[in-house]
Amino acid sequence: MTKEDFIHLVRDELDLPLGVDDLSADFDHVVSWDSMHMIRLVGAVERKTGNRVPVGKLLADRSLSAIYERISAA
């Protein structure tokens, strides 16, 4: 999944008005981010890629780009 695909998915699924800059920002600084978004994002990524996402580790991540890196590495 490319970075663009990922940000597209995040916008599409969560309907958050995210810019590319928001990828690297800490969640505390991302518009309207809450933990439920993470849960929905995991489901969406798994549906899209068919791969299991390591949720337990993901929860420790503090930014979308960290999540993206982890998903790409999986």
Partner 1 sequence: MTTVSSPAARETPPPPAAPRPTPLVALRALRSAGELVERYAEVAPLLAEMVSAGDEDDFQRAGNILTQLDRDAVKAALPDTETAVVALTGHSTLGSVRAPLTAEFARHGILLEDRLGDFDAYLRDLRDPESPLHAPDVDLALCVIDPHTLLDEMGTPWQADDLVQTAERKLAQLTALAAAFTERATAALVLNTVPLSRTVTHQLIDHASRNRASIAWREFNNGLLRLALDHPGVHVIDLDPLVAGGAALNEPRMSAYAKAHLGDELLAGYAREVAHLARMLRGRTKKVLVVDADNTLWDGILGDDGMDRIAAATTFRGEAFGNFQRLIQQIGSQGILLAVSSKNDHEPLVQVLREHPDMVLREADFARINANWQPKDANLRDIAGKLNLGVDSFVFADDSAFECGMVAGGLPQVAVVRLDDEPALHVGKLLADGWFDTARLTAEDRARAALYRTEAERADLLDSAGSQEEYLAGLGVRVTLGEAGPGDVDRVAQLSLRTNQFNLTTLRLQPADVTEREQDPDHLVLAVRTGDRFGDNGVVGAVFAHRDEDTLVVDNMILSCRVFARGIERTTVAALLAHAGATGARAVLASYRPTAKNKNVRGFWPSVGFAPTEATDGELRFRHDLDDLVAVPSHVTLTSTLEGSTT
5 contacts partner 1 (rule: CB under 8 A): no
State the Cα–Cα distance between residues 38 and 52, nearest whole angstrom. Answer: 14
Give 42 or 71: the residue with its C-beta nearer to partner 1: 42
Positive or negative CA dihedral for 31, 16, 67, 5? negative
Number of other CB atoms surrounding residue 67 within 10 Å = 23
Q: Which of residues 13-42 bind partner 1 (CB under 8 A)?
A: 13-15, 17-19, 21-22, 25, 29-32, 34-36, 38-40, 42
Chain contacts with partner 1 (rule: CB under 8 A): 8, 11-15, 17-19, 21-22, 25, 29-32, 34-36, 38-40, 42-43, 55-56, 59
